[in-house]
Structure 1
Amino acid sequence: MDDTYRPRGEGPVESTHAAAQLLRADRPRARAARRLRLRDASAALDRLAELAARLLAAPIAQISLLDDVEVIVAGTGLPPGTVGREAPLDATACAVPAAEGLPVVVPDVRDEPRAADLPQVRAGVVGAYLGAPMIDADGFAVGVLCVAAPTPRTWADTDVATLRQLASAAVAELELAALRTEHERDRLRWGLAIDAAGIGTFDWDLRTGELTWDARLIAMFGYDVDSFGGTIEAFNERVHPDDLPRVTDALQASIAARGDYEAEYRVVWPGGETRWVQARGRTLADETGAATRVLGAAYDTTAERAAGMRVTRVLDAMPAGFYSLDREWRFTHVNAEAERLLQHSRDELLGQELWTAFPAAVNSVFEESYRTAVRTGTPVHFDAHYPAPLNGWYELRAWPSPEGLSVYFLEVTERRRVQDRAERAAQRLALLAQVSAELAGALDAQTATAHLPRLVVPALADWCIVTVVDPDGRPRDVGYWHVVPSSRALVERYAAVRLDAMPATAPLMRALLTGEAVMERTEAVRAVLADGEARDLLTALDPESAIAIPLRGRDRTLGVMTLYYRRGWTPRDEDLATAQDVADRAGLALDNARLYGQQRALAEGLQRSLLTEPPEPDHAEIAVRYLPAAEAARVGGDWYDAFLQPGGATMLVIGDVVGHDTEAAAAMGQLRALLRGIATYSDGGPGEVLRGLDASMALLQTRVLATATVARFEQTDDERRRGVTRMRWANAGHLPPLVINPDGSVAELATWRGDLLLGVDPDALREESVVTLDRGATVLLFTDGLIERRDADLDAGMARLREALRELADRPLEELLDEVLHRLVDGRPEDDVALVAVRLHRQDQPRPPEAGPNRVPDVVPEDPMSPVPG
């Protein structure tokens, strides 16, 4: 764990009380926490708390801010009323990571002396704890992001790394909220300052005669909205009679010349009060050159004429920068804030052309926006970056006027920095979430790992190649991607030939051997490559550097993710940490896939070892199938059986032990052996066999539940001559058989009734049913894994099975079973699937070749379908 930060240069605190004392003494930290405790960030903090709980699979997540007390500002899994609550620092586990400035990992709170007196621990709410401090830009721990579980658990290194990244994102959100609040406050003050200038606007449409004033100008002339008539006569009525001719001449001159209008005059209110107004405007023309409207602005200069340059003083006192330019782009006014932001005094700027004083503005968004405002007569609003020596981001509003252009601006560099930091943190978290989803949802871990380059490029590197180690220990490149489409063919070819050209000293090989990341300059990699195609391809791709990050499993390195960086790209520490996190998740997924394969092979081997090949009685073709569940842990209790009884009858069995694990598979083996022993010794019918099995289970105390269907095929001489066979069967809570008649129709056995499961009542009566089958019929016994789905009921599954059997009725028996499995489970059943089927071929013809040889034990009568008593 990284020990680079401790707030006071001390070792770990010995108790929550000591941590609380340390935090109270650290006043700058307390002030920082108060500064960052903002409502604007609450929604983002709630999302981060939920993301922490989801990524770390923890039921509880909490974000706290710490100064003199702890304030819980966000969380999930907390009791109602917890968020917003204050608590003493002595009573919270979060004081320790905040005081130490490092993550605190507690797998079992019972082994942590510092947690003994905490209320949450005494109440049994918290059994395991992981907390990461929230470090602000000044290096202070202003809060803690923590997750907890009610029972002890082990926290992995990846859990700690993920929580630290989430804590960094929480601080970024808080800082961004603080800056946003400060920015909005400045904007409000800016707007109030503009309102204080008292500027009103007018628009006189020369075609319609309509005169439009804003509310400020209406009030300036002593009107209200209802009394202002919206005509030039309403304007003339208020202008002082001595000034009206001069003002009228100025307007007419502007209209005639399609030029500027400027006038200062007196306005006489109805009560006799006189005000001075300064007006400026411009006449606009249409495409034919005809004057169409006069636009302008006016402000009350009464106080200014009496007390001097009131507007100038207001502008100079504004918290925003302000400067004005004349029509030749020369500075005519610069306020005090503009002097500070532009790093030039007003004496240096006044009279100087904008493009000379700030040459980087030429051919930039500044020049384009300013000229657009002047050309169109409409204000513009934009954000832009000016390079050194200012090297800052600015928010600007530019207003055209007859004299030129007025510009108001604020520096927003810090806001942009925090916003970029928050966006980068969000992108990293989104990438980790996407990688986790891809690896968790993939059917094949190697396929998902091969897709990793498309996820990490271009977020973490310019291009990427992923290598995995095959079971025989040989590395193999399985995935690649380049941000530039035209370079992907080169990367593909490079991935195909590079491993054969790499010596053991290459970064990739060293990462595989050591399990540690290895970064090298491209020149060093090229130097160890043998002369040939691989070296030429790397030269053509021309990365500046590369880092080989191992994909680590629990006890071995299972691959390498190699990230390549173009010239001029220096990866940030947080990007490298994210890349390592991605690699660790991929390595764990590969390791899980390896263990899954081993477990699945073991379970499937056990299951198959308990099942045997069916007999081959005369003119009866028997086929069986067993397909284990797609999840290895679900292999277990399904079984089939087919055997001959001493009297010569053929008996089919299908069954399912309740449960899905290796214990269920072992129990299945016991029941299967008991049932075939009872049936082959007693020569009893299906009901008697099930009764005997129930009694044996009770005597042997197997303590399992199971379902089963037993069917016996019998035939008298008369039935043989008529070409029919009887099927006598009994059911212990299992699905009934299905019959495919010779004409292709599928019959359900309408008289069936499922008796109690095996293992419930050893004295339960077992009823038998009898159905007569024509030779050429096929009987199918199956377990519920064939038709059961999470998103559909058994009736829908039975309907799908009947439809499939109708369509496949004329297929050979082995092909029919394969196609049924393909259509209903597509090779990936959610549960075990066992099938046993018999096709009763016609006895007046030779045994068909597809039925195989006729093989029966010597102790069975020569006529295997001879009559059987009962």
Structure 2
Amino acid sequence: MNPEFTRRTTPPVLGRAGSATVTGGLVDEQARAEHARRMAGDHLDTTRLNRLCELTARLLSTGSAQISIVSDVLTVVGGAGVSRPLVGTTSPASDSLCAVTMRSGTGLVVRDAAVDPLVAGLPPVVSGTVRSYLGVPLASGGHVVGALCAYGADARDWDETELSLLGLLAEAVASELHLAVLEASYAEDRRIWQLAVDAGGVGAFDWDLMTGELRWDERLLALFGIDRESFGGTIEAFNEFVHPEDRDRVAQALRGAIDTVGAFNAEYRIILPDRGVRWVSARGQAYGEGGTATQLVGAAFDTTLVQEGEARVARILEAMPSAFFQLDDEWRFTYANAEADKILAPIGSGMVGEIIWELFPDAVGSPFEDNYRHAVRTGQPVQFEAYYPPPLDSWYEIRAWPTPDELSVYFLDVTDRRAAQASLARSMERAALLAEVSDSLSDSFDTVQAVGRLAQLIVPRLAQWCLITLVDDADPLSDRNWRRHLRDIGYWHATEEGRAVVQAYGQDRIAALTDDSFVAQVLRTHAPAHVSANATPLVAAVLVDGPARDHYLTLAPESVLVLPVRGRGRTVGILTLGRDAEQGPFTVEEIGTLEEVGARAGLALDNARLYAEQRELAEGLQRSLLTAPPVQEGLQVAVRYEPAAEIAQVGGDWYDAFHQTDGSTVVVIGDVVGHDTDAAAAMGQLRAMLRGIAVTTGDGPAEVLRRLDHAMPVLELDTTATCVVARFDTTPDDPAAGTTRMRWSNAGHPPPMIAVTGPDGEVSVEPLWSSSPDLLLGLDLETERSETVVALPPGAIVLLYSDGLVERRGQSLGDGIEELRRSLRDLVSSGLDLEAMCDALLDHLLPLRREDDVAMVAVQLDR
């Protein structure tokens, strides 16, 4: 893992409110904590946040994900995996990695938390719950308020693609949090409005029982004859205005509402600053949880000169914080309150007396007219959301209820809320597309083919049709015949009939490209070319007359986008996308998504190129290190080596077979710890030393391993390895003449396998487990090396192998050895020769994508 990336940071993911507030370089912590407390309130929909966490955990392949809000404590507001049961709980902020992410204001990337000094002492790390961690901060209302994170119980290398994906998911979370605040705000507006209507008043108040702060609106201040600077903002300041004879009664009514978390209702006298007296009627409601009131809100109005009928109704409606109007049975406006005049001002003033369909012609035939007429026809209230075009250009939440003579309409501007919902949906769609792109690129061995298939993911989501072109030269335009460095590798169209046209266009168009074509422009500038309108004639003009131009005119796009697919410092491909007039031009957001698709495809293509180059180098090194087995009368030796399906095609596994001076045959299987070129280099040295010790000394397997153990530190080989050495000696003077003895020693390696065919043709296969397995090479110079002798009958087969044959993700070593035993028994029973048996064994046991090298030596005695 890149050490720079381990500590790489990313800017906070911001909500709609913009950048975090900073004073003198430090965040105003008190304001931030207060905002975070409001964000973590009961208005949050934890079900939606939990789904975002589940999406995060699935896309990043982690066990758990969590959304945290940090005020003076940490509150879990969304979770998946281990975090799901914690949703709704709080804990000290100092105990959490999310708090570290939030306070730093940057992304936090932790490969192994247990050894990371920044977080190793935190409780989730100490308990083992968190080992790998990736988190980005969340912001709202100008403050960093929390974090989105994904984590697991095992160490893990994160890459920049995963950090980018988490950032995209955090945008969705920020939108969801912002949406929740907006919904809560609208709910509070409606609640205050309803109380104002119930009270029939003109002024509103809000008393925070936790802080003691008492807030009055401008109308209530005017009712008491004061301005905002003259009001103390406390219940004591209010009591100073109440007539002395009414104070106890008002206090008792307030206390009753607070004690019961119920309604407040009182009519009392106040003394104005000019010493005049006014009667006030006030109504309110206490709110809270668990029987404890935390807030009392309500409205008050002047009852001194209040009149019955229309005057009182008008005062109520004018006090409403939301828009309201009435229509008569001829669809004329009979009344519109001040808020309605304000919201509908772009249409014009003086609505009263005008017919709604004439003043608002775009409402005709729209959901506005359909719902209004339905309410009047059925006598039932209606509630709906609808959009009105410019000059209003806004979405509205409408509630309308009919009476015998009129239709009353209440409405709110919900444009911001709709925009937040749309932003959330787009963020989730973008994250899903990019996840599918990554999956598609990683699930195929043929990267070029996988990149070509991306056209089917892009269409019809972002375009009507798409062509994907491969560029096989770093600077194709330096060649006069630059077109020969391009080839189209993928295409798709939203319609079945259109696919044949796009395919035909792709087959002919490269030869038809002129030096002024948009493809050539992108190759020169390495920047996107967007023809936002009238693309059919503009692109056709830079194509040579012929079939390609005819096919393009059949496609007839209104807008075209040509994007470079960038690898490491070069353009490795081009995306060409077309849209009709109905889809419209590509937006900045869509172009950004397509550039991200191109970046991932470019990285995959560049990795494929590096893979091919390193494979050629590795295969050459492999051929130089692993030699053919010797020829020995009386026994046959077969060897196999299969590299891992990764970039490095050679690693630490090796085999060897050679003669000692006394004519004995020695076979070796070994595995140096590691899967890189360092392991390969160490393997080559160990293999050569072991062969030299065995040949020059003539020692048996145990002594050869002991001498190799002592040679390693002298030659500064700082590595460890497993190894099995087996020597085959023919013993004609033995009482059991015709048998062969195998002397073997095992240094921590998987056990050899022996297959013997009995007189009745039954095949017996068993692993040779050591009674006391010896340590790996390179761990302890003083370790004793044991040696075992086995008498082999004619026709016996001995198989030595490395752990890549029997151990892989999702399968234990013991299960793998048992599967090998069964497969070897079946293959020996089938009568295959030794070479064919080795090939069949590899075909049967190895997956298509090998995670480890595999070395194998098979020895068969003549019958």
Q: How do 1:285-300 residues align onto structure 2 when only pairs under 5 Å count?
A: none
Check 1:501–1:812 CA distance in 2 against 1; reply closer, same or farther (3 A cut).
Answer: farther
Which residue matches 1:274? none
Letter in 2 for 1:367: E
Letter in 2 for 1:533: P
Check 1:471–1:330 CA distance in 2 against 1; reply closer, same or farther (3 A cut).
Answer: closer
Letter in 2 for 1:694: D
Which residue matches 1:549? 563
Q: Is contact 1:321–1:341 with CA below 8 Å preserved after alignment?
A: yes
Which residue matches 1:523? 537
For residue 574 of structure 1, report the CA deviation from its aligned partner. 3.0
SS of 1:669's partner is helix
Check 1:176–1:62 CA distance in 2 against 1; reply closer, same or farther (3 A cut).
Answer: closer
Cα distance in structure 1, aligned partners of 2:349 and 2:729: 114
Q: Is contact 2:99–2:146 with CA below 8 Å preserved after alignment?
A: no
For residue 78 of structure 1, report the CA deviation from its aligned partner. 8.5
Cα distance in structure 2, aligned partners of 1:159 and 1:443: 21
Which residue matches 1:831? 852
Check 1:571–1:712 CA distance in 2 against 1; reply closer, same or farther (3 A cut).
Answer: same
Q: Which runs of 5 or more residues in structure 1 are unaligned?
A: 1-15, 66-70, 95-103, 108-119, 121-129, 149-154, 199-302, 843-870
Which residue matches 1:575? 590
SS of 1:622's partner is strand
Cα distance in structure 1, aligned partners of 2:512 and 2:824: 56
Please identify, of 754-763 and 778-787, the stretch whose mean Cα deviation from structure 2 is larger.
754-763
For residue 535 of structure 1, report the CA deviation from its aligned partner. 1.5
Please identify, of 415-424 and 163-172, the stretch whose mean Cα deviation from structure 2 is larger.
163-172
Which residue matches 2:517? 506
Q: Is contact 2:200–2:315 with CA below 8 Å preserved after alignment?
A: no
Please list the CA deviations of residues 662-691 of structure 1 after superposition, one character each: whole Å capped at 9, or x if unmatched.
222222212222222233344443334334
SS of 1:789's partner is coil
Please list the CA deviations of residues 413-462 of structure 1 after superposition, one character each: whole Å capped at 9, or x if unmatched.
34333443454345445544554555466655434433433444445433
Q: How do 1:261-410 residues align onto structure 2 when only pairs under 5 Å count?
A: 306-308=308-310, 310-311=312-313, 313-325=315-327, 330-331=331-332, 333-336=334-337, 337-342=339-344, 350=353, 352=355, 354-403=356-405, 405-410=407-412
Q: Select 1:652's aligned residue among 667, 680, 683.
A: 667
How many equivalent pairs are there? 668
- The CA RMSD measured in Å over matched residues stands at 5.2
Which residue matches 2:470? 468
Cα distance in structure 1, aligned partners of 2:706 and 2:99: 66
Which residue matches 1:191? 194
Which residue matches 1:218? none
Cα distance in structure 1, aligned partners of 2:390 and 2:77: 41
For residue 367 of structure 1, report the CA deviation from its aligned partner. 3.3
For residue 795 of structure 1, report the CA deviation from its aligned partner. 0.7
Structure (1 or 2) with the larger CA radius of gyration:
1
| Residues 1:679 and 2:677 are matched in the alignment | no
Q: Is contact 2:748–2:775 with CA below 8 Å preserved after alignment?
A: yes
Which residue matches 1:286? none
Q: Select 1:559's aligned residue among 552, 566, 573.
A: 573
Check 1:414–1:828 CA distance in 2 against 1; reply closer, same or farther (3 A cut).
Answer: closer
Letter in 2 for 1:334: Y
Cα distance in structure 1, aligned partners of 2:412 and 2:374: 20
Which residue matches 2:264? none
| Residues 1:636 and 2:651 are matched in the alignment | yes
Cα distance in structure 2, aligned partners of 1:779 and 1:24: 71
Cα distance in structure 1, aligned partners of 2:455 and 2:786: 63
SS of 1:717's partner is coil
Which residue matches 1:282? none
Cα distance in structure 2, aligned partners of 1:651 and 1:156: 45
SS of 1:420's partner is helix
Q: Is contact 1:73–1:83 with CA below 8 Å preserved after alignment?
A: no
Which residue matches 1:667? 682
For residue 713 of structure 1, report the CA deviation from its aligned partner. 2.3
Q: Is contact 2:658–2:666 with CA below 8 Å preserved after alignment?
A: yes
| Residues 1:757 and 2:776 are matched in the alignment | yes
Check 1:184–1:489 CA distance in 2 against 1; reply closer, same or farther (3 A cut).
Answer: farther
Letter in 1 for 2:694: A
For residue 395 of structure 1, report the CA deviation from its aligned partner. 1.0
Cα distance in structure 2, aligned partners of 1:84 and 1:93: 8
Which residue matches 1:620? 635
Cα distance in structure 2, aligned partners of 1:36 and 1:135: 12
Which residue matches 2:729? 714
Aligned sequence identity (%):
45
Letter in 2 for 1:664: A
Letter in 2 for 1:540: T
Please list the CA deviations of residues 296-353 of structure 1 after superposition, one character each: whole Å capped at 9, or x if unmatched.
xxxxxxx999555544543454333334445x5533633224445455789755484x
Please list the CA deviations of residues 595-624 of structure 1 after superposition, one character each: whole Å capped at 9, or x if unmatched.
233334433432331110012323422211
Which residue matches 2:803? 784
Q: Is contact 1:385–1:394 with CA below 8 Å preserved after alignment?
A: yes
Q: Select 1:767's aligned residue among 769, 783, 786.
A: 786
SS of 1:741's partner is strand
Check 1:765–1:340 CA distance in 2 against 1; reply closer, same or farther (3 A cut).
Answer: closer
Please list the CA deviations of residues 163-183 of structure 1 after superposition, one character each: whole Å capped at 9, or x if unmatched.
998898788667645543432
For residue 485 of structure 1, report the CA deviation from its aligned partner. 4.9
Please list the CA deviations of residues 18-40 of structure 1 after superposition, one character each: whole Å capped at 9, or x if unmatched.
x8469999xxxx99x98998557
| Residues 1:746 and 2:749 are matched in the alignment | no
Check 1:539–1:377 CA distance in 2 against 1; reply closer, same or farther (3 A cut).
Answer: same
Q: How do 1:76-95 residues align onto structure 2 when only pairs under 5 Å count?
A: 79-80=94-95
Check 1:638–1:599 CA distance in 2 against 1; reply closer, same or farther (3 A cut).
Answer: same
Cα distance in structure 2, aligned partners of 1:408 and 1:348: 15
Cα distance in structure 2, aligned partners of 1:464 and 1:716: 73
For residue 479 of structure 1, report the CA deviation from its aligned partner. 2.6
Q: How do 1:418-433 residues align onto structure 2 when only pairs under 5 Å count?
A: 418-432=420-434
Cα distance in structure 1, aligned partners of 2:836 and 2:736: 30
For residue 546 of structure 1, report the CA deviation from its aligned partner. 1.9
Please identify, of 813-822 and 34-43, the stretch whose mean Cα deviation from structure 2 is larger.
34-43
Q: Is contact 2:501–2:555 with CA below 8 Å preserved after alignment?
A: yes
Which residue matches 2:815? 796
Cα distance in structure 2, aligned partners of 1:780 and 1:160: 46
Q: Is contact 2:794–2:861 with CA below 8 Å preserved after alignment?
A: yes
Which residue matches 2:861? 840
Q: Which runs of 5 or more residues in structure 2 are unaligned?
A: 1-19, 80-91, 110-117, 119-134, 150-157, 202-304, 477-484
SS of 2:560's partner is strand
Letter in 1 for 2:567: G
For residue 162 of structure 1, report the CA deviation from its aligned partner. 8.7
For residue 831 of structure 1, report the CA deviation from its aligned partner. 1.7
SS of 2:636's partner is strand
Cα distance in structure 2, aligned partners of 1:527 and 1:135: 49
Please identify, of 419-428 and 572-581, the stretch whose mean Cα deviation from structure 2 is larger.
419-428
| Residues 1:813 and 2:834 are matched in the alignment | yes
Cα distance in structure 2, aligned partners of 1:759 and 1:167: 48
Cα distance in structure 1, aligned partners of 2:744 and 2:633: 21
Cα distance in structure 2, aligned partners of 1:371 and 1:528: 56
Which residue matches 2:14? none
Cα distance in structure 1, aligned partners of 2:505 and 2:38: 52
Q: Is contact 1:334–1:346 with CA below 8 Å preserved after alignment?
A: no
Please list the CA deviations of residues 635-683 of structure 1 after superposition, one character each: whole Å capped at 9, or x if unmatched.
4221111123333332221112233322222222122222222333444
For residue 591 of structure 1, report the CA deviation from its aligned partner. 2.0
Q: Is contact 1:330–1:350 with CA below 8 Å preserved after alignment?
A: no
Q: Is contact 2:731–2:739 with CA below 8 Å preserved after alignment?
A: no
Q: Is contact 1:439–1:586 with CA below 8 Å preserved after alignment?
A: yes
